[in-house]
Structure 1
Amino acid sequence: MLPIFTTRSQRFIKGSIFEYKSGRGCSRISKMFLPHIPPVSNVSSRVLRVLGCNPSLYTLQGSNTYIVGTGHSRILIDSGEPNIPEYIKNLKETMEKYKFKIEHIIVSHWHEDHIGGVKNILDMISNKNECKVWKLHPENEKLREYNFPINFMKDHQEFHTEGATLKIYHTPGHTTDHVVIFLDEEKALFSADCVLGEGTTIFENLEDYMKSLNLILQLNPAVIFPGHGSVIQNPIRHVNNYIRHRVEREKQIIQMLRDHPLQAMTKSDIVNKIYESIPKGLLKVADRGIEQHLIKLQKDGVVIKIDNVWKFNNSFSL
Protein backbone atom coordinates (compact mmCIF):
# COMPACT_ATOMS: atom_id res chain seq x y z
CA MET A 1 0.00 0.00 0.00
CA LEU A 2 1.32 3.41 -0.96
CA PRO A 3 -0.95 6.27 0.15
CA ILE A 4 -0.56 9.73 -1.28
CA PHE A 5 -1.87 12.64 0.74
CA THR A 6 -3.65 15.27 -1.26
CA THR A 7 -3.78 19.00 -0.74
CA ARG A 8 -7.18 18.45 0.90
CA SER A 9 -5.64 16.22 3.58
CA GLN A 10 -2.24 17.74 4.15
CA ARG A 11 -3.03 18.22 7.81
CA PHE A 12 -1.77 14.64 8.17
CA ILE A 13 1.73 15.41 6.90
CA LYS A 14 2.45 18.97 7.97
CA GLY A 15 4.71 19.55 10.92
CA SER A 16 7.81 18.01 12.39
CA ILE A 17 8.74 14.37 12.84
CA PHE A 18 7.07 12.72 15.80
CA GLU A 19 7.49 9.33 17.40
CA TYR A 20 4.48 7.07 16.94
CA LYS A 21 4.40 4.74 19.96
CA SER A 22 1.77 2.02 20.03
CA GLY A 23 3.11 0.06 22.99
CA ARG A 24 3.85 -3.67 23.36
CA GLY A 25 6.97 -3.26 21.26
CA CYS A 26 5.01 -1.84 18.33
CA SER A 27 6.73 1.51 17.87
CA ARG A 28 8.68 3.31 15.17
CA ILE A 29 9.30 6.80 13.87
CA SER A 30 6.76 8.33 11.51
CA LYS A 31 6.46 11.72 9.77
CA MET A 32 2.74 12.21 10.16
CA PHE A 33 0.20 13.29 12.70
CA LEU A 34 -2.20 10.36 12.89
CA PRO A 35 -4.81 9.08 15.35
CA HIS A 36 -3.53 6.43 17.74
CA ILE A 37 -4.36 2.79 16.93
CA PRO A 38 -3.71 0.19 19.68
CA PRO A 39 -1.61 -2.85 18.76
CA VAL A 40 -4.64 -5.10 19.41
CA SER A 41 -8.28 -4.03 19.69
CA ASN A 42 -11.85 -5.25 19.42
CA VAL A 43 -13.38 -3.22 16.61
CA SER A 44 -16.68 -5.16 16.80
CA SER A 45 -18.19 -8.19 18.51
CA ARG A 46 -16.92 -10.38 15.65
CA VAL A 47 -13.73 -8.62 14.62
CA LEU A 48 -10.34 -8.20 16.28
CA ARG A 49 -7.76 -5.86 14.75
CA VAL A 50 -4.05 -6.62 15.12
CA LEU A 51 -1.83 -3.79 13.92
CA GLY A 52 1.08 -4.81 11.70
CA CYS A 53 3.72 -2.86 13.70
CA ASN A 54 5.05 -1.33 10.49
CA PRO A 55 4.19 2.40 10.63
CA SER A 56 5.69 4.58 7.92
CA LEU A 57 4.97 7.45 5.57
CA TYR A 58 3.38 4.88 3.26
CA THR A 59 1.60 2.50 5.67
CA LEU A 60 0.25 5.14 8.08
CA GLN A 61 -0.03 3.65 11.60
CA GLY A 62 0.77 0.26 10.04
CA SER A 63 -1.05 -2.47 8.16
CA ASN A 64 -4.36 -3.44 9.73
CA THR A 65 -4.94 -7.18 9.92
CA TYR A 66 -8.29 -8.51 11.08
CA ILE A 67 -9.40 -11.70 12.84
CA VAL A 68 -13.02 -12.53 12.03
CA GLY A 69 -15.35 -14.93 13.86
CA THR A 70 -16.46 -15.88 17.35
CA GLY A 71 -15.52 -19.55 17.65
CA HIS A 72 -12.44 -21.72 18.07
CA SER A 73 -11.60 -21.42 14.36
CA ARG A 74 -11.41 -17.97 12.78
CA ILE A 75 -10.39 -16.19 9.58
CA LEU A 76 -7.46 -13.76 9.29
CA ILE A 77 -7.67 -10.96 6.72
CA ASP A 78 -4.21 -9.83 5.52
CA SER A 79 -0.91 -10.56 7.21
CA GLY A 80 1.23 -7.41 7.36
CA GLU A 81 4.85 -7.26 6.25
CA PRO A 82 7.41 -10.09 6.49
CA ASN A 83 9.64 -10.60 9.49
CA ILE A 84 7.99 -8.26 12.01
CA PRO A 85 8.50 -10.08 15.37
CA GLU A 86 6.32 -7.60 17.30
CA TYR A 87 3.35 -8.37 15.06
CA ILE A 88 3.76 -12.15 15.28
CA LYS A 89 4.08 -11.88 19.07
CA ASN A 90 0.90 -9.81 19.34
CA LEU A 91 -1.00 -12.14 17.02
CA LYS A 92 0.11 -15.21 18.97
CA GLU A 93 -0.86 -13.65 22.31
CA THR A 94 -4.25 -12.71 20.87
CA MET A 95 -4.84 -16.28 19.69
CA GLU A 96 -3.93 -17.61 23.14
CA LYS A 97 -6.08 -15.04 24.96
CA TYR A 98 -9.21 -15.72 22.91
CA LYS A 99 -8.44 -19.44 22.43
CA PHE A 100 -8.80 -19.81 18.67
CA LYS A 101 -6.84 -21.08 15.69
CA ILE A 102 -6.64 -19.57 12.22
CA GLU A 103 -8.35 -21.76 9.61
CA HIS A 104 -8.10 -19.36 6.63
CA ILE A 105 -5.91 -16.40 5.68
CA ILE A 106 -7.54 -14.16 3.07
CA VAL A 107 -5.11 -11.79 1.34
CA SER A 108 -6.61 -8.66 -0.20
CA HIS A 109 -3.89 -8.15 -2.84
CA TRP A 110 -0.27 -8.87 -3.69
CA HIS A 111 1.47 -5.88 -2.03
CA GLU A 112 4.06 -6.98 0.51
CA ASP A 113 2.51 -5.12 3.44
CA HIS A 114 -0.60 -7.31 3.03
CA ILE A 115 0.77 -10.69 1.97
CA GLY A 116 4.35 -10.51 3.30
CA GLY A 117 3.67 -11.90 6.78
CA VAL A 118 1.89 -15.08 5.65
CA LYS A 119 4.90 -17.39 5.95
CA ASN A 120 5.78 -16.05 9.41
CA ILE A 121 2.21 -16.71 10.54
CA LEU A 122 2.16 -20.23 9.08
CA ASP A 123 5.44 -20.99 10.84
CA MET A 124 3.97 -19.75 14.12
CA ILE A 125 0.64 -21.62 14.18
CA SER A 126 0.21 -25.29 15.13
CA ASN A 127 -2.15 -26.11 12.24
CA LYS A 128 0.16 -24.89 9.46
CA ASN A 129 -0.74 -27.74 7.12
CA GLU A 130 -4.49 -27.26 7.55
CA CYS A 131 -4.65 -23.46 7.35
CA LYS A 132 -5.51 -22.33 3.80
CA VAL A 133 -4.21 -19.12 2.25
CA TRP A 134 -6.45 -17.42 -0.32
CA LYS A 135 -5.94 -14.68 -2.90
CA LEU A 136 -7.73 -13.67 -6.08
CA HIS A 137 -5.80 -14.22 -9.30
CA PRO A 138 -7.07 -12.26 -12.34
CA GLU A 139 -7.46 -14.24 -15.55
CA ASN A 140 -4.71 -13.89 -18.16
CA GLU A 141 -2.29 -12.51 -15.58
CA LYS A 142 1.10 -14.06 -14.91
CA LEU A 143 1.29 -16.13 -11.73
CA ARG A 144 3.41 -14.70 -8.94
CA GLU A 145 5.65 -16.97 -6.91
CA TYR A 146 5.11 -17.36 -3.17
CA ASN A 147 7.02 -19.26 -0.49
CA PHE A 148 3.86 -20.94 0.80
CA PRO A 149 0.93 -22.87 -0.74
CA ILE A 150 -1.82 -20.59 -2.03
CA ASN A 151 -5.40 -21.09 -3.18
CA PHE A 152 -7.09 -18.83 -5.70
CA MET A 153 -10.51 -17.52 -4.77
CA LYS A 154 -13.24 -16.24 -7.07
CA ASP A 155 -15.23 -13.04 -7.22
CA HIS A 156 -18.33 -13.40 -4.98
CA GLN A 157 -16.87 -16.47 -3.22
CA GLU A 158 -18.13 -16.88 0.34
CA PHE A 159 -16.29 -17.98 3.46
CA HIS A 160 -18.09 -19.23 6.56
CA THR A 161 -16.84 -19.52 10.12
CA GLU A 162 -18.64 -19.47 13.46
CA GLY A 163 -20.32 -16.08 13.84
CA ALA A 164 -19.33 -14.70 10.44
CA THR A 165 -20.09 -14.93 6.73
CA LEU A 166 -17.62 -13.22 4.41
CA LYS A 167 -18.13 -12.48 0.72
CA ILE A 168 -15.37 -11.53 -1.72
CA TYR A 169 -15.75 -8.67 -4.21
CA HIS A 170 -13.13 -8.06 -6.89
CA THR A 171 -12.24 -4.35 -6.81
CA PRO A 172 -9.41 -3.68 -9.28
CA GLY A 173 -7.81 -0.28 -9.56
CA HIS A 174 -5.34 -0.10 -6.70
CA THR A 175 -4.00 -3.39 -8.11
CA THR A 176 -5.52 -5.76 -10.65
CA ASP A 177 -6.04 -8.48 -8.01
CA HIS A 178 -7.46 -6.26 -5.26
CA VAL A 179 -10.54 -7.41 -3.34
CA VAL A 180 -12.75 -6.04 -0.61
CA ILE A 181 -14.50 -8.37 1.82
CA PHE A 182 -18.05 -7.95 3.12
CA LEU A 183 -19.06 -9.21 6.58
CA ASP A 184 -22.73 -10.00 6.16
CA GLU A 185 -23.72 -10.14 9.84
CA GLU A 186 -22.55 -6.57 10.49
CA LYS A 187 -22.83 -5.08 7.00
CA ALA A 188 -19.18 -4.22 7.47
CA LEU A 189 -16.61 -3.91 4.69
CA PHE A 190 -12.90 -4.71 4.86
CA SER A 191 -11.68 -2.24 2.24
CA ALA A 192 -7.94 -3.05 2.25
CA ASP A 193 -6.25 -0.34 0.13
CA CYS A 194 -9.29 0.72 -1.90
CA VAL A 195 -10.34 3.10 0.88
CA LEU A 196 -8.09 4.21 3.76
CA GLY A 197 -8.94 5.53 7.19
CA GLU A 198 -6.79 8.64 6.64
CA GLY A 199 -5.67 10.30 3.41
CA THR A 200 -6.19 8.79 -0.04
CA THR A 201 -4.60 5.91 -1.89
CA ILE A 202 -2.87 5.27 -5.22
CA PHE A 203 -4.13 3.24 -8.13
CA GLU A 204 -2.78 1.39 -11.15
CA ASN A 205 -5.88 2.10 -13.22
CA LEU A 206 -8.11 5.10 -12.49
CA GLU A 207 -11.07 3.92 -14.54
CA ASP A 208 -11.17 0.57 -12.72
CA TYR A 209 -10.62 2.28 -9.39
CA MET A 210 -13.61 4.59 -9.84
CA LYS A 211 -15.80 1.60 -10.71
CA SER A 212 -14.61 -0.14 -7.54
CA LEU A 213 -15.48 2.90 -5.41
CA ASN A 214 -18.96 2.90 -6.91
CA LEU A 215 -19.28 -0.82 -6.16
CA ILE A 216 -18.56 -0.06 -2.51
CA LEU A 217 -21.35 2.52 -2.55
CA GLN A 218 -23.70 -0.13 -3.95
CA LEU A 219 -22.76 -2.50 -1.12
CA ASN A 220 -23.82 0.27 1.27
CA PRO A 221 -21.68 -0.79 4.24
CA ALA A 222 -22.54 0.37 7.75
CA VAL A 223 -18.85 0.59 8.67
CA ILE A 224 -15.50 0.17 6.89
CA PHE A 225 -12.46 -1.54 8.35
CA PRO A 226 -9.62 -0.22 6.15
CA GLY A 227 -6.25 -1.79 5.37
CA HIS A 228 -4.56 1.25 6.90
CA GLY A 229 -5.84 3.92 9.24
CA SER A 230 -8.78 4.30 11.57
CA VAL A 231 -12.17 2.59 11.37
CA ILE A 232 -14.52 4.54 9.08
CA GLN A 233 -17.85 5.10 10.81
CA ASN A 234 -19.40 7.20 8.02
CA PRO A 235 -18.52 5.03 4.99
CA ILE A 236 -20.87 6.46 2.37
CA ARG A 237 -19.76 10.03 2.99
CA HIS A 238 -16.14 8.89 3.12
CA VAL A 239 -16.31 7.04 -0.22
CA ASN A 240 -18.22 9.88 -1.85
CA ASN A 241 -15.43 12.19 -0.72
CA TYR A 242 -12.94 9.87 -2.44
CA ILE A 243 -14.95 10.03 -5.66
CA ARG A 244 -15.41 13.80 -5.38
CA HIS A 245 -11.69 14.27 -4.86
CA ARG A 246 -10.86 12.35 -8.05
CA VAL A 247 -13.40 14.41 -10.02
CA GLU A 248 -11.95 17.63 -8.58
CA ARG A 249 -8.42 16.54 -9.41
CA GLU A 250 -9.50 15.86 -12.99
CA LYS A 251 -11.09 19.31 -13.25
CA GLN A 252 -7.95 20.87 -11.78
CA ILE A 253 -5.76 19.26 -14.45
CA ILE A 254 -8.12 20.33 -17.24
CA GLN A 255 -8.27 23.92 -15.98
CA MET A 256 -4.49 24.07 -15.64
CA LEU A 257 -4.00 22.99 -19.26
CA ARG A 258 -6.74 25.36 -20.50
CA ASP A 259 -5.18 28.28 -18.62
CA HIS A 260 -1.75 27.67 -20.21
CA PRO A 261 -2.47 26.89 -23.88
CA LEU A 262 0.91 28.21 -25.06
CA GLN A 263 2.99 26.65 -22.28
CA ALA A 264 4.57 23.25 -22.83
CA MET A 265 3.46 21.32 -19.76
CA THR A 266 5.01 17.95 -19.03
CA LYS A 267 3.58 15.54 -16.50
CA SER A 268 6.25 16.68 -14.01
CA ASP A 269 5.20 20.31 -14.48
CA ILE A 270 1.62 19.40 -13.61
CA VAL A 271 2.69 17.36 -10.57
CA ASN A 272 4.89 20.15 -9.23
CA LYS A 273 2.14 22.74 -9.57
CA ILE A 274 -0.55 20.63 -7.93
CA TYR A 275 1.60 19.13 -5.18
CA GLU A 276 3.69 22.13 -4.18
CA SER A 277 4.00 21.32 -0.48
CA ILE A 278 4.06 17.54 -0.07
CA PRO A 279 7.28 15.76 1.01
CA LYS A 280 9.69 15.09 -1.85
CA GLY A 281 9.59 11.39 -0.99
CA LEU A 282 5.94 11.32 -2.08
CA LEU A 283 6.37 13.12 -5.40
CA LYS A 284 7.03 9.87 -7.24
CA VAL A 285 3.76 8.48 -5.94
CA ALA A 286 1.93 11.69 -6.85
CA ASP A 287 3.43 11.42 -10.32
CA ARG A 288 1.79 8.01 -10.77
CA GLY A 289 -1.61 9.38 -9.79
CA ILE A 290 -1.42 12.33 -12.18
CA GLU A 291 -0.28 9.99 -14.94
CA GLN A 292 -3.41 7.87 -14.45
CA HIS A 293 -5.61 10.98 -14.62
CA LEU A 294 -3.90 12.09 -17.84
CA ILE A 295 -4.30 8.64 -19.39
CA LYS A 296 -8.02 8.69 -18.61
CA LEU A 297 -8.43 12.24 -19.94
CA GLN A 298 -6.55 11.30 -23.09
CA LYS A 299 -8.80 8.26 -23.56
CA ASP A 300 -11.84 10.51 -23.08
CA GLY A 301 -10.50 12.89 -25.74
CA VAL A 302 -10.15 15.81 -23.31
CA VAL A 303 -6.37 16.18 -23.57
CA ILE A 304 -3.73 15.33 -26.14
CA LYS A 305 -0.09 14.35 -25.75
CA ILE A 306 2.58 15.54 -28.18
CA ASP A 307 6.24 14.66 -27.53
CA ASN A 308 5.67 14.19 -23.77
CA VAL A 309 3.87 17.54 -23.56
CA TRP A 310 0.23 17.63 -22.50
CA LYS A 311 -2.31 20.07 -23.95
CA PHE A 312 -6.03 20.64 -23.67
CA ASN A 313 -7.87 19.39 -26.74
CA ASN A 314 -9.57 22.56 -28.02
CA SER A 315 -11.89 20.54 -30.22
CA PHE A 316 -13.33 18.81 -27.15
CA SER A 317 -16.59 20.21 -25.81
CA LEU A 318 -16.82 20.11 -22.00
Structure 2
Amino acid sequence: MEDKWIPASSVNSGRLAAIQPDIHMYTVQIVNLFFVGTKDDWVLVDAGMPRSAEKIIREAEKLFGQHAKPKAIILTHGHFDHVGALEELVQHWDVPIYAHELELPYLTGKRDYPEPDASVEGGLVAKMSPLFPTEAINVTEWINALPADGTIPPMPDWRWYHTPGHSPGHISLFRPSDRVLIAGDAFVTVKQDALYKVLTQEKEFHGPPRYLTTDWKAAKSSVAQLAALEPDIAATGHGVEVTGRELNEGLHDLVSQFEEVAVPDYGRYVDDQ
Protein backbone atom coordinates (compact mmCIF):
# COMPACT_ATOMS: atom_id res chain seq x y z
CA MET A 1 0.00 0.00 0.00
CA GLU A 2 2.86 2.40 0.76
CA ASP A 3 3.89 2.09 -2.90
CA LYS A 4 0.60 3.69 -3.97
CA TRP A 5 0.06 7.39 -4.41
CA ILE A 6 -3.42 8.88 -4.72
CA PRO A 7 -3.47 12.33 -6.39
CA ALA A 8 -6.15 13.93 -4.21
CA SER A 9 -5.99 16.51 -1.47
CA SER A 10 -8.02 19.18 0.34
CA VAL A 11 -7.60 22.54 2.04
CA ASN A 12 -7.55 20.74 5.40
CA SER A 13 -4.65 18.42 4.59
CA GLY A 14 -2.18 18.64 7.46
CA ARG A 15 -4.76 20.07 9.86
CA LEU A 16 -4.67 18.85 13.48
CA ALA A 17 -7.89 19.68 15.33
CA ALA A 18 -8.61 19.11 19.03
CA ILE A 19 -12.06 17.51 19.16
CA GLN A 20 -11.69 17.11 22.93
CA PRO A 21 -8.56 17.61 25.07
CA ASP A 22 -7.72 13.93 24.57
CA ILE A 23 -8.99 13.51 20.99
CA HIS A 24 -7.15 15.00 18.03
CA MET A 25 -8.26 14.67 14.43
CA TYR A 26 -5.50 14.75 11.81
CA THR A 27 -6.30 15.15 8.12
CA VAL A 28 -4.10 13.38 5.58
CA GLN A 29 -4.99 14.65 2.09
CA ILE A 30 -8.72 13.81 2.05
CA VAL A 31 -9.17 11.51 5.05
CA ASN A 32 -9.18 11.91 8.82
CA LEU A 33 -7.52 9.76 11.47
CA PHE A 34 -7.57 10.18 15.23
CA PHE A 35 -5.13 10.27 18.13
CA VAL A 36 -7.17 9.33 21.20
CA GLY A 37 -5.71 9.55 24.70
CA THR A 38 -2.82 11.17 26.53
CA LYS A 39 0.92 10.60 26.75
CA ASP A 40 1.77 6.94 27.46
CA ASP A 41 -1.90 5.95 27.08
CA TRP A 42 -3.18 6.62 23.57
CA VAL A 43 -4.42 4.79 20.51
CA LEU A 44 -4.54 5.58 16.81
CA VAL A 45 -7.91 5.23 15.08
CA ASP A 46 -7.41 4.52 11.36
CA ALA A 47 -4.18 4.85 9.43
CA GLY A 48 -4.57 7.40 6.66
CA MET A 49 -3.56 7.45 3.03
CA PRO A 50 -0.71 5.59 1.35
CA ARG A 51 2.70 7.20 1.82
CA SER A 52 1.61 9.05 4.97
CA ALA A 53 3.35 6.98 7.69
CA GLU A 54 6.14 9.49 8.29
CA LYS A 55 3.63 12.34 8.66
CA ILE A 56 1.54 10.34 11.13
CA ILE A 57 4.57 9.37 13.22
CA ARG A 58 5.72 13.00 13.24
CA GLU A 59 2.32 14.24 14.45
CA ALA A 60 2.21 11.55 17.14
CA GLU A 61 5.59 12.65 18.45
CA LYS A 62 4.49 16.29 18.47
CA LEU A 63 1.51 15.33 20.61
CA PHE A 64 3.00 12.68 22.87
CA GLY A 65 6.77 13.08 22.80
CA GLN A 66 9.75 11.57 21.03
CA HIS A 67 9.46 7.85 20.25
CA ALA A 68 5.80 7.87 21.27
CA LYS A 69 3.84 4.84 20.16
CA PRO A 70 0.19 3.88 20.68
CA LYS A 71 -1.20 1.08 22.80
CA ALA A 72 -2.96 -0.16 19.67
CA ILE A 73 -4.38 0.81 16.30
CA ILE A 74 -8.17 0.60 15.90
CA LEU A 75 -9.66 0.41 12.40
CA THR A 76 -13.14 1.59 11.49
CA HIS A 77 -12.68 -0.44 8.29
CA GLY A 78 -10.00 -1.48 5.83
CA HIS A 79 -10.48 0.67 2.72
CA PHE A 80 -7.27 2.03 1.23
CA ASP A 81 -7.66 5.55 2.64
CA HIS A 82 -8.03 4.21 6.19
CA VAL A 83 -5.19 1.67 6.10
CA GLY A 84 -2.83 3.35 3.63
CA ALA A 85 0.02 3.69 6.13
CA LEU A 86 -0.95 0.73 8.33
CA GLU A 87 1.70 -1.77 7.27
CA GLU A 88 4.54 0.71 7.71
CA LEU A 89 3.15 2.04 11.01
CA VAL A 90 2.69 -1.37 12.60
CA GLN A 91 6.17 -2.45 11.54
CA HIS A 92 7.54 0.73 13.13
CA TRP A 93 5.51 0.56 16.35
CA ASP A 94 4.86 -3.20 16.68
CA VAL A 95 1.48 -2.82 18.40
CA PRO A 96 -1.79 -4.78 18.13
CA ILE A 97 -4.44 -3.85 15.58
CA TYR A 98 -8.16 -4.29 16.26
CA ALA A 99 -10.95 -4.51 13.68
CA HIS A 100 -14.37 -6.14 13.31
CA GLU A 101 -14.18 -9.84 12.51
CA LEU A 102 -15.98 -9.32 9.17
CA GLU A 103 -13.21 -6.96 8.09
CA LEU A 104 -10.40 -9.42 8.82
CA PRO A 105 -10.32 -11.13 5.39
CA TYR A 106 -9.39 -7.77 3.81
CA LEU A 107 -6.62 -7.28 6.37
CA THR A 108 -5.09 -10.75 6.20
CA GLY A 109 -4.59 -11.05 2.46
CA LYS A 110 -7.55 -13.39 1.93
CA ARG A 111 -10.06 -11.22 0.08
CA ASP A 112 -10.00 -8.03 -1.99
CA TYR A 113 -12.71 -5.41 -1.71
CA PRO A 114 -15.19 -5.05 -4.57
CA GLU A 115 -14.05 -2.72 -7.33
CA PRO A 116 -15.10 0.93 -6.93
CA ASP A 117 -18.15 1.88 -8.99
CA ALA A 118 -17.20 4.62 -11.46
CA SER A 119 -20.68 4.36 -12.98
CA VAL A 120 -22.38 5.56 -9.81
CA GLU A 121 -24.22 8.88 -9.78
CA GLY A 122 -21.74 11.47 -8.53
CA GLY A 123 -18.93 13.83 -9.35
CA LEU A 124 -15.36 13.59 -10.54
CA VAL A 125 -14.02 11.69 -7.53
CA ALA A 126 -16.50 8.91 -8.31
CA LYS A 127 -15.23 8.86 -11.89
CA MET A 128 -11.64 8.67 -10.63
CA SER A 129 -12.42 5.81 -8.25
CA PRO A 130 -11.06 2.99 -10.47
CA LEU A 131 -7.63 4.41 -9.60
CA PHE A 132 -8.18 3.57 -5.93
CA PRO A 133 -6.59 0.32 -4.68
CA THR A 134 -8.89 -2.44 -3.46
CA GLU A 135 -6.32 -5.18 -2.86
CA ALA A 136 -6.21 -6.81 0.55
CA ILE A 137 -3.30 -6.02 2.81
CA ASN A 138 -1.74 -8.55 5.16
CA VAL A 139 -1.17 -7.59 8.80
CA THR A 140 -1.98 -11.06 10.15
CA GLU A 141 0.86 -10.89 12.67
CA TRP A 142 -0.77 -7.96 14.50
CA ILE A 143 -4.52 -8.17 13.78
CA ASN A 144 -7.15 -9.06 16.38
CA ALA A 145 -10.93 -9.26 16.16
CA LEU A 146 -12.74 -6.83 18.43
CA PRO A 147 -14.61 -8.49 21.31
CA ALA A 148 -18.22 -9.27 20.44
CA ASP A 149 -19.52 -7.43 23.50
CA GLY A 150 -18.77 -3.98 22.07
CA THR A 151 -15.78 -3.25 24.26
CA ILE A 152 -12.45 -2.03 22.92
CA PRO A 153 -9.57 -3.49 25.01
CA PRO A 154 -7.21 -0.48 24.81
CA MET A 155 -10.10 2.04 25.08
CA PRO A 156 -12.08 1.14 28.23
CA ASP A 157 -14.28 4.26 28.13
CA TRP A 158 -15.43 3.61 24.56
CA ARG A 159 -17.83 1.23 22.81
CA TRP A 160 -17.85 0.07 19.22
CA TYR A 161 -20.99 -0.27 17.11
CA HIS A 162 -21.27 -2.39 13.98
CA THR A 163 -22.24 0.07 11.22
CA PRO A 164 -22.03 -1.86 7.94
CA GLY A 165 -23.05 -0.77 4.46
CA HIS A 166 -19.89 0.98 3.38
CA SER A 167 -18.00 -2.22 4.18
CA PRO A 168 -19.11 -5.48 5.82
CA GLY A 169 -17.22 -4.96 9.07
CA HIS A 170 -17.37 -1.19 9.36
CA ILE A 171 -17.54 0.09 12.95
CA SER A 172 -18.08 3.42 14.66
CA LEU A 173 -16.75 4.36 18.11
CA PHE A 174 -18.74 6.12 20.85
CA ARG A 175 -17.77 7.41 24.29
CA PRO A 176 -20.89 7.71 26.48
CA SER A 177 -19.30 9.99 29.10
CA ASP A 178 -19.14 12.98 26.76
CA ARG A 179 -21.14 11.56 23.83
CA VAL A 180 -18.30 11.76 21.33
CA LEU A 181 -18.73 9.77 18.13
CA ILE A 182 -15.99 8.73 15.73
CA ALA A 183 -18.16 7.61 12.84
CA GLY A 184 -15.64 6.45 10.26
CA ASP A 185 -17.40 6.47 6.90
CA ALA A 186 -20.84 5.41 8.17
CA PHE A 187 -21.73 8.99 7.30
CA VAL A 188 -19.49 11.88 6.31
CA THR A 189 -19.68 15.66 6.48
CA VAL A 190 -18.60 16.40 2.95
CA LYS A 191 -19.95 15.21 -0.40
CA GLN A 192 -17.08 12.83 -0.98
CA ASP A 193 -17.80 11.99 -4.61
CA ALA A 194 -17.62 15.65 -5.76
CA LEU A 195 -14.08 16.89 -6.37
CA TYR A 196 -14.74 20.59 -5.68
CA LYS A 197 -16.42 19.84 -2.34
CA VAL A 198 -13.63 17.46 -1.36
CA LEU A 199 -11.03 20.13 -2.19
CA THR A 200 -12.85 22.89 -0.29
CA GLN A 201 -14.26 20.66 2.48
CA GLU A 202 -17.63 22.37 2.23
CA LYS A 203 -19.68 21.04 5.15
CA GLU A 204 -22.62 18.83 4.18
CA PHE A 205 -24.20 15.82 5.90
CA HIS A 206 -23.99 12.92 3.54
CA GLY A 207 -24.12 9.15 3.49
CA PRO A 208 -20.99 7.03 3.05
CA PRO A 209 -18.86 7.61 -0.06
CA ARG A 210 -20.96 6.32 -2.94
CA TYR A 211 -18.33 4.69 -5.11
CA LEU A 212 -17.27 2.20 -2.41
CA THR A 213 -20.60 1.56 -0.66
CA THR A 214 -22.12 -1.79 -1.60
CA ASP A 215 -25.14 -2.19 0.73
CA TRP A 216 -27.38 0.87 0.92
CA LYS A 217 -30.05 -0.71 3.13
CA ALA A 218 -27.43 -1.54 5.75
CA ALA A 219 -25.92 1.93 5.33
CA LYS A 220 -29.23 3.60 6.20
CA SER A 221 -29.72 1.36 9.25
CA SER A 222 -26.23 2.24 10.41
CA VAL A 223 -26.87 5.99 10.23
CA ALA A 224 -30.15 5.53 12.09
CA GLN A 225 -28.31 3.58 14.81
CA LEU A 226 -25.79 6.40 15.23
CA ALA A 227 -28.48 9.09 15.28
CA ALA A 228 -30.21 7.18 18.09
CA LEU A 229 -27.08 7.56 20.22
CA GLU A 230 -27.68 11.33 20.17
CA PRO A 231 -24.00 12.29 20.07
CA ASP A 232 -22.92 15.77 21.14
CA ILE A 233 -19.75 15.74 19.01
CA ALA A 234 -19.11 13.77 15.84
CA ALA A 235 -16.01 13.41 13.71
CA THR A 236 -16.12 11.43 10.50
CA GLY A 237 -13.62 9.87 8.13
CA HIS A 238 -14.11 12.67 5.65
CA GLY A 239 -15.07 16.26 6.34
CA VAL A 240 -15.08 18.40 9.46
CA GLU A 241 -16.22 17.83 13.04
CA VAL A 242 -19.81 18.80 13.95
CA THR A 243 -21.37 19.50 17.34
CA GLY A 244 -24.58 20.25 19.20
CA ARG A 245 -27.82 21.18 17.52
CA GLU A 246 -26.26 21.24 14.05
CA LEU A 247 -25.17 17.61 14.54
CA ASN A 248 -28.51 16.47 15.98
CA GLU A 249 -30.57 18.06 13.23
CA GLY A 250 -28.16 17.06 10.49
CA LEU A 251 -28.13 13.40 11.50
CA HIS A 252 -31.89 13.13 11.88
CA ASP A 253 -32.45 14.90 8.55
CA LEU A 254 -30.01 12.50 6.92
CA VAL A 255 -31.93 9.51 8.26
CA SER A 256 -35.32 10.86 7.18
CA GLN A 257 -34.07 11.84 3.70
CA PHE A 258 -31.53 9.07 3.21
CA GLU A 259 -32.93 7.76 -0.06
CA GLU A 260 -32.99 11.25 -1.58
CA VAL A 261 -29.72 12.60 -0.15
CA ALA A 262 -27.41 9.61 0.23
CA VAL A 263 -28.50 6.80 -2.10
CA PRO A 264 -27.45 7.45 -5.69
CA ASP A 265 -30.06 7.34 -8.42
CA TYR A 266 -28.06 4.73 -10.30
CA GLY A 267 -24.97 2.60 -9.92
CA ARG A 268 -23.83 -0.99 -9.87
CA TYR A 269 -24.51 -1.50 -6.17
CA VAL A 270 -27.82 0.39 -6.28
CA ASP A 271 -29.11 -1.68 -9.15
CA ASP A 272 -28.19 -4.88 -7.31
CA GLN A 273 -30.63 -4.11 -4.47
TM-score w.r.t. length of structure 1: 0.60
CA–CA distance in 2 between the matches of 1:155 and 1:45? 29
* 8 Å CA contact 2:18, 2:25 repeated in 1: yes
For 1:91, the aligned partner's letter is: A
Cα root mean square deviation, aligned: 3.1
* 8 Å CA contact 1:82, 1:120 repeated in 2: no
Query: How far apart are residue 209 of structure 1 and its match?
Result: 0.9
Aligned residues: 217
Give the match for residue 228 of structure 2. 218
For 2:144, the aligned partner's letter is: N
Q: How does 1:1-318 map to 2 (within 5 A)?
A: 30=9, 36=12, 39-52=15-28, 55=29, 62-84=30-52, 85-96=54-65, 101-125=69-93, 128=94, 131-138=95-102, 144-145=108-109, 146-147=138-139, 148-159=141-152, 165-199=157-191, 200=206, 201-202=209-210, 203-233=213-243, 234-248=246-260, 271=266, 287-288=267-268, 291-292=269-270, 294-296=271-273
- Structure with greater Cα Rg: 1
3-state SS in 2 of match to 1:216: helix
Structure 2 unaligned spans of 5+: 1-6, 110-137, 192-205
For 1:88, the aligned partner's letter is: I
3-state SS in 2 of match to 1:247: helix
For 2:247, the aligned partner's letter is: P
Give the match for residue 267 of structure 1. none
Give the match for residue 11 of structure 1. none
**How high is the sequence identity, in percent, across the aligned residues?**
18
* 8 Å CA contact 1:155, 1:168 repeated in 2: no
For 1:93, the aligned partner's letter is: K
CA–CA distance in 1 between the matches of 2:41 and 2:69? 5
Deviations 1:115-149 (A, max 9, x none): 22122222333xx2xx2100112299787421352
Query: How far apart are residue 47 of structure 1 and its match?
Result: 0.4
- Classify 1:76/1:140 alpha carbon distance in 2 versus 1 (closer, same or farther; 3 Å): closer
Structure 1 unaligned spans of 5+: 1-27, 56-61, 254-269, 272-286, 297-318
CA–CA distance in 2 between the matches of 1:132 and 1:143? 13
- Classify 1:29/1:197 alpha carbon distance in 2 versus 1 (closer, same or farther; 3 Å): same
Query: How far apart are residue 36 of structure 1 and its match?
Result: 3.9
Q: Which has the larger strand fraction?
A: 1
* 8 Å CA contact 2:24, 2:34 repeated in 1: yes
3-state SS in 2 of match to 1:69: strand
Query: How far apart are residue 186 of structure 1 and its match?
Result: 1.6
